[in-house]
Amino acid sequence: MKILVASRLEQLAIRQLQRSHDVICTFDQPTRDLSSLIHDREALVFRSGVEITRALIDCAPDLRLLVRAGCGLDNLDCEYVLKRGIVLRRISEPAAQAVAEMALALMFALARNIRQADAMLRHGKWAKDTLEGHLLAGKVLGIVGAGNIGSRLGVLASTMGMEPIGCIADSTPAVVQTLRDKGITVADFCTVLSAADFVSVHVPLNDSTRNLINRRALSWMKKGSYLINLARGGVVDETALYAALATGRLCGAALDVHEHEGQGQISPLAQLSNVILTPHIGASTVETQQQIGVRVVEIIEAFVQQSVQQAEQQSVQQSITAARREPDTGVTAGALSNEMVRI
């Protein structure tokens, strides 16, 4: 199979694919540079940061399989993928634990002023008496998007003595009960924001969630509360967040995802000392990347095997159909007699 790996993938997985397939690797390239590489590819492996547009897909007439090494689909024209009949496989499970753990880590860092303490000590300032923080135990954690990642965070937070409360789209009775069984109280969006000491965002980016955390939503949050975003940059209105932080309405924020990402980008929020910024590394653990690499190989090999089986079945069916359409070559006695008479 001809494969284009357009985002970084664990090296062992790449070597395994290269044993049986024609693999091209090009990491972190602009979409316009991918068009010349994808023209004969049958499969594309990608992550966030690579825009899979309709124009790019049209450059690949043989494209049959897309493997999203993660969960977000905001960088993919899903409607066109469906129209083209291209198979899409997501690998969302391995990253969920890593992102949930990082959300908890960022809450610790905010609550205990880790960033400020580190910066001061590096300049020789022993600020032991001025960096009084907060416990997480006993605090309310608001989870905006209590799905796969958000619910994991809720379970982790519960072990620290926090009280998780979450909202989720499509909250069916079964989903609500599942969350309750995990110790997560389910409420509406406004209630989650107004009740929480820490708000952690875990929703996909789409038309309904773009700027979901805007000035109005921030005004519902408790004065002195904290915001953590590991979802997508476009979910939070960063201008409104800046104002809430600068005026002291929010005590702090931590963002792993940003409105503008990539080399050379500097967020205006970097000017604020009560903000922690990281470069979209929520899923960046050794173990997570190994698991994703294994799944990529499994998905591609399974797709190839299924394609072979379908081709064999189609060949057999075509043979049967052709046999049924062939004229009857049997000759009746009467027909043979007439033929002999004419001779």
The catalytically annotated residue of 68, 89, 232, 258 is 232
**Alpha-carbon distances, residue 268 vs 185, 243, 273 (angstroms):** 35, 11, 12
* Percentages (nearest 5) of helix, strand, coil residues in the chain: 45, 15, 40
The Cα–Cα gap between 136 and 117 comes to 18
- Identify the burial level of 342 via C-beta atoms within 10 angstroms of its C-beta, where 0-12 means exposed, 13-18 middle and 19 or more buried: exposed
- Residues sharing a CB contact under 8 Å with residue 106, sequence separation 6 or more, in sequence order: 228, 230, 254, 256, 276, 278
**Are the C-beta atoms of residues 163 and 140 closer than 8 Å to each other?**
yes
User: For this structure, is 280 an active site residue?
Assistant: yes
Task: Quote the radius of gyration of the chain (alpha carbons, Å).
Answer: 28
Mapped onto helix, strand or coil, the DSSP state of residue 165 is strand
Q: Which of 21, 84, 90, 261 is catalytic?
A: 261
Catalytic residues: 232, 261, 280
